[in-house]
Amino acid sequence: MQTMTEPRAERRNKPGAPVLEARNLKVHFPFRRGLPFVGKYGVIRAVDGVSLHVNEGETLGLVGESGCGKSTTARAIVGLTAPTSGEIYLNGARIDGLSSSAMFTHRRDMQMVFQNPFSSLNPRMTVGAIIREPMDIFHLHSRRDRRLEVMRLMDLVGLNPRYMNRYPHEFSGGQRQRIGVARALAVEPKIILCDEPVSALDVSIQAQVINLLMDLQQKLGVAYLFIAHDLAVVRHIAHRVGVMYLGRIVELADADALYASPKHPYTQALLSAVPVPNPQREEQRQYVALAGEPPSPDRQYPGCPFAPRCPIGDEHCREVAPQLAGGQHLVSCHKVET
C-alpha cells in the first residue's frame, strides 16, 4: 500500500496573498413543516456566518461531521448554490450575486473536484472529450493544441494518454478522480475546491490522490479549499484547518498548532476519536465523549450551538453567542482565553 509522502512543511513554499475570501457567508433553505398547506415555514441554516480565506498556493482544510455545512459552503462559493447573504471575493473582486454572463470571466480561476468520481463524469463522453470540454468553453488553445494539452494533462495526473478515447466506466475509482483533477486543471485555475475528493476511494488509493494533489500544488502553485471528514488526511495536506459545527466555524488555525493544541471542546472531542497507530499510545489516549445528539439546523440558537453537548458549557454559553477571535489561532468559545 502506498503511503503519503513527507509532511507539507518540507514540500511547499510559503503561501502568498489571498485568492479566495468569504465573509459572513450564510446559506438558508426554507421548508414547510407540518401538514401540506397548513404547516408553518421553517429555515434550515446549513451555513450560518462562515468567514474564511485561502491564500495563493495554500491549502485550507475544512473538517466537521456530516451535515455541518462543509459541502454547502463550497457549493455556495462556486455558485452552484445561491448564498442567502454574505460576501465572496475571488482575486479581490466580489463575485456573489453576479449574473451568469458576468460570472463567466471569473469561473476560469476557480474550479471544483467533486466527491463521487462515478457520478461527476459524463458516461457518454470519452476521457479526452471530458478534459477538453473546459478548453472548448473558454476558447483556450487551437483545436490541434487542445489534443496535445489533453495528453499533457493526462500524463501530469498519472494517466496514460493513449487511453484518451476510452470512456469513464473503463477506469477505476482512483483513475476517475484523476480525470476529474485533470479536467479542473484544464483552464489553469488559481484555486480548486475539493469536496471530499478521496472519501469514496480505498485507503491505498486515497494516499495516491492526496500525494498527486500535493505534487500538483508544488509544481503549479494552485491553491486548494480541501473539504474532508478524515482528520488524518487533512492534517497531511493542509496548511491551515477550519473546524465546522452546525454551519459555523468554531476553530481556525495553522494545522500543526490545531492538531498539537486544540482549544475548542468540539475540536478536542474530534481529535480524541482519531485512532493512533501505536498500541501503547492508543491505550493511554483519553477519549472525550459528547453527550446527546447533534442539534437540528432548523432551530435558532441564541448562544453557542455546541453548548448543549459541551462538557464545560454553562448557562452563559447557551444565552450568548461567542465570536471567532484570537489572532493566528481563532476559536469561538467563551471558556477559552484568546
Mean pLDDT estimate for the chain: 88
Torsion of CA 61, 67, 73, 78, to 10 degrees: 100
Instruction: Please list, residue by residue across 290-324, b when 16 or more beta carbons sit within 10 angstroms of its beta carbon and e when fewer do.
Output: beeebeebeeebebbbbbbbbeebeeebbeebbeb
Confidence of residue 253 (pLDDT cuts 50, 70, 90): very high
Cell numbers 407540518: residue: 34
SS3 184: helix
pLDDT digits (tens, 9 = 90+) for 274-314: 777 767 666 667 777 787 777 788 888 889 989 988 988 89
pLDDT digits (tens, 9 = 90+) for 136-145: 999 999 988 9
Using an 8 Å Cβ cutoff, are 219 and 50 in contact? no
Grid cell in block for residue 181: 483533477
- Whether residue 231 has pLDDT greater than 80: yes
Confidence of residue 39 (pLDDT cuts 50, 70, 90): low
Using an 8 Å Cβ cutoff, are 226 and 257 in contact? no
Nearest one of 150, 209, 199, 203 to 174, comparing CA atoms = 209
Length in residues, the chain: 338
Q: What is the pLDDT of residue 12?
A: 41
For range 77-100, the mean pLDDT: 93
Q: Which one-letter DSSP state was computed for residue 308? A: G
- What is the torsional sign of CA 1, 113, 117, 170? negative
Confidence of residue 6 (pLDDT cuts 50, 70, 90): very low
Question: 40 or 224: whose pLDDT is higher?
Answer: 224
Question: 36 or 184: whose pLDDT is higher?
Answer: 184
Using an 8 Å Cβ cutoff, are 305 and 246 in contact? yes
For range 175-188, the mean pLDDT: 96
Helices marked H in 16-169 = 70-78, 100-107, 127-138, 143-156
pLDDT digits (tens, 9 = 90+) for 42-61: 889 999 999 999 999 999 99
Using an 8 Å Cβ cutoff, are 297 and 303 in contact? no
Confidence of residue 81 (pLDDT cuts 50, 70, 90): very high
